[in-house]
A and B are shown apart, each in its own frame.
Chain A
Amino acid sequence: MSADQMLAFETDCHIFDGCGFPTPGLHSFVFEPLFTVGGIEVNKPMLLAVLSSVVVIVFLWAAFGRAKLVPGKLQMVGEAGYDFIRKGIVYEALGKKEGEKYVPLMVSLFFFIWMMNLWSIIPVAQFPVTSIIAYPAGLALLVYLIWVPLTFKRHGFIGGIKNITGYNKDLGWVLPLVMVLELFSNLLIRPFTHAVRLFANMFAGHVLLLIFTIASWYLLNGIGIAYAGVSFVMVILLTAFEMFIQALQAYVFVLLACSYIQGALAEHH
């Protein structure tokens, strides 16, 4: 496995060595394929995405596989997460009756996204899978494919259109404008922002971590060592901050998914 495949920067480059700062950028998010399976070139993020699935499944299996009346430690942790999503997000947004069937989806979304984000600070992996737009986009698309058909199923075609366009007679002459805006906002921009919100947060977080990590290494020469120390402290602080952001963004993604479904189920407002 070469450095190109795993690392974000050259390892033999230091300040005062006539070597420029290897700035992280878009290229930091491009990985050469590690190996090929059935014609698909598998790179690091793909591997991590699959691993996320494995880790989440193993965790959930270990926690709930043999769920007991009196829970063990792991089951208790799992149940805390499960209850947090179920009662804290789904029931809050959709109510117990409507929300129950979306609980598995939302719990999975939360754990899966959180795990994909978490790779960012796990040694060796050190890359948030969600900073590749494809992964949040896939999930956002999935949510989109749930709430849009649901809107029409619940309200019929005309009712669905009214729901999505925010039809309201009281608006008078601004109604057409509002309808056009709402149509754009809900049907086109919403899935995009849903995915990009997660993607951009993790992307930016990873770039920040990269800048200070690379700087810590790059400055490790002569007087630069003092600055490397400062940079390293920043790495630690940002790592802690990223831990918070990772969980928060997973939470936000699930919260938005619930609120979209809630909007689809709601009567016209």
Chain B
Amino acid sequence: MIALVQLASEETEPAFLPPLPELVIGTLAFLLVVLYLGKKLLPNLNKVLDERRVAIEGGLEKAKAAQDEAQQVLDDYRAQLAEARNEAARLRQDAQEHGAAMVAEMRTEGERQRDEIVAAGRAQVEADRQTAAASLRQDVGKLAIDLADRIVGESMKDAARQERTIDRFLDALEAKPADTTKAEVTR
């Protein structure tokens, strides 16, 4: 190798032999870069990078918090929605039950009123029948007495006797087949 260097140096300046000025200048130029970068720029840059890391982590934490909150809100909303659904279902059921109860009540009320009306009707009819029967009884009695009066010619003006006679007649009449009498009356 030494021979090679010598050979080269005989021809021209050798490319392999490091000349001192170049070695020194090259190394110094480099040391300048290292010093400036190492002492000045990188500490500053690393500080900024750390700050950035913190900022990003802070951002991530914020995002996490926001996400959690959003999740919380969503859960709340879902819970509320479920509750509202339950409430609605409950109300619907209540309404149904209530409606059914009302219908049943109305029905019983209606039935009751109908029964009342029917009963009132029946009572009225009965009363009318009785009135009619009483009036008829009086008329029939009167007619019979008049008839008998005329036939017998006997004065039957005495009220007490008249009354007794009518009653007797009517009792006899009712004691006879009642249906026929009744049929006669209604007719």
With A104-B38, A134-B26: A69-B21 Cβ-Cβ less than 8 Å:
no
A247 interfacial by beta-carbon distance below 8 Å: no
Please state if A67 and B44 are interface contacts (CB–CB under 8 Å). yes
Dominant secondary structure at the A interface = helix
Please indicate the chain B residues that have their CB under 8 angstroms from the CB of A188 in the complex.
Answer: none
Dominant secondary structure at the B interface = helix
A50 to chain B, nearest CB (A): 5
Whole-angstrom CA separation of A69 from B56 in the bound complex: 10
Please state if A60 and B29 are interface contacts (CB–CB under 8 Å). no
Whole-angstrom CA separation of A45 from B55 in the bound complex: 45
With A46-B25, A69-B52: A60-B36 Cβ-Cβ less than 8 Å:
yes
Whole-angstrom CA separation of A131 from B15 in the bound complex: 8
**Which one of B11, B22, B26 contacts A139 once the chains associate, using CB atoms below 8 Å?**
B26
With A26-B11, A133-B16: A105-B38 Cβ-Cβ less than 8 Å:
yes
A84 interfacial by beta-carbon distance below 8 Å: no
Please indicate the chain A residues that have their CB under 8 angstroms from the CB of B37 in the complex.
Answer: 57, 60, 104, 107-108
Please state if B15 and A104 are interface contacts (CB–CB under 8 Å). no
Please state if A69 and B33 are interface contacts (CB–CB under 8 Å). no
Whole-angstrom CA separation of A203 from B29 in the bound complex: 21
Closest A residue by C-beta to B15: A29
Interface size grouping (class) on chain B: 35 or more
Whole-angstrom CA separation of A191 from B14 in the bound complex: 20
A19 to chain B, nearest CB (A): 21
Please indicate the chain B residues that have their CB under 8 angstroms from the CB of A57 in the complex.
Answer: 32-33, 36-37
The digit string for B114-128, where 1 denotes a CB below 8 A from any CB of A, is 000000000000000
With A49-B25, A105-B34: A27-B48 Cβ-Cβ less than 8 Å:
no
Please indicate the chain A residues that have their CB under 8 angstroms from the CB of B30 in the complex.
Answer: 53, 108-109, 112, 138-139, 142
Please state if B42 and A203 are interface contacts (CB–CB under 8 Å). no
Contact sample, A vs B, 7 pairs, CB 8 Å cutoff:
A46-B21, A49-B22, A49-B26, A50-B25, A57-B36, A103-B42, A142-B30
- On A, residues with C-beta under 8 Å from B are 26-27, 29-30, 40-41, 45-46, 49-50, 52-53, 56-57, 60-61, 64-65, 67-69, 79, 82, 103-105, 107-109, 111-112, 129, 131-135, 137-139, 141-142, 203
- On B, residues with C-beta under 8 Å from A are 8, 11-19, 21-27, 29-34, 36-38, 41-42, 44-45, 47-49, 51-52, 55
